[in-house]
């Protein structure tokens, strides 16, 4: 194990664990149904595992483009068009992320500059303020 001369200091030492971690721990501790993260209590259908394996064996096992795999962005655009009647350019207006927290951080990083004040409506999802602060902004809470 490497020996570092000093511990790595967080840029956000006041940020604790996420609400998801807190609620998941409490649910496990009390034997409660965990509604905080949407953990399913069942496995995915075997057909899904088979399709994933099929496509991985066919070569769909590499990094996607930065905006996400084109067929996925096209499918998203089609679904949004069918459900909501909205049309989006898959090259310019649809980006696939690894999850909501990453999407929030990416959007904040793209828009917030050092010194910007960003209004957040409380209660605020716990990744907004750290994302704003890491990008040099200041969160301004509103109730």
Look up residue 90 and give its DSSP letter. Answer: T
For 23-88, give the DSSP string.
HHHHHHHHT----SS---SSPPPHHHHHHHHHHHHTT--SPPPTT--HHHHHHHHHHHHHHH----
Task: Give per-residue pLDDT as tens, 38-89.
Answer: 777 789 999 999 999 999 999 988 888 899 999 999 999 999 999 999 999 9
Task: Give per-residue pLDDT as tens, 77-95.
Answer: 999 999 999 999 999 999 9
**Short-list 16, 18, 20, CA closest to 36:** 20
What predicted TM-score, i.e. pTM, was given to this entire model? 0.70
Pair 73, 97: CB distance under 8 Å: no
């Amino acid at each position: 194990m490497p020996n570092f001369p000093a511990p790595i200091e967080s840029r956000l030492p006041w940020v604790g664990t996420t609400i998801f971690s807190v609620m998941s721990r409490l649910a496990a501790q009390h034997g409660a149904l965990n509604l905080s993260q949407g953990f399913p209590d069942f496995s995915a259908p075997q057909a899904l595992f088979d399709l994933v394996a099929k496509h991985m064996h066919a070569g769909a096992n590499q990094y996607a483009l930065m905006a996400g795999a084109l067929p996925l962005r096209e499918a998203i655009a089609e679904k949004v068009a069918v459900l909501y009647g909205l049309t989006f350019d898959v090259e310019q207006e649809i980006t696939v992320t690894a999850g909501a927290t990453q999407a929030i951080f990416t959007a904040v990083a793209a828009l917030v500059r050092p010194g910007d004040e960003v209004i957040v409506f409380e209660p605020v999802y716990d990744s907004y303020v750290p994302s704003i602060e890491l990008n040099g902004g200041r969160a301004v809470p509103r109730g």
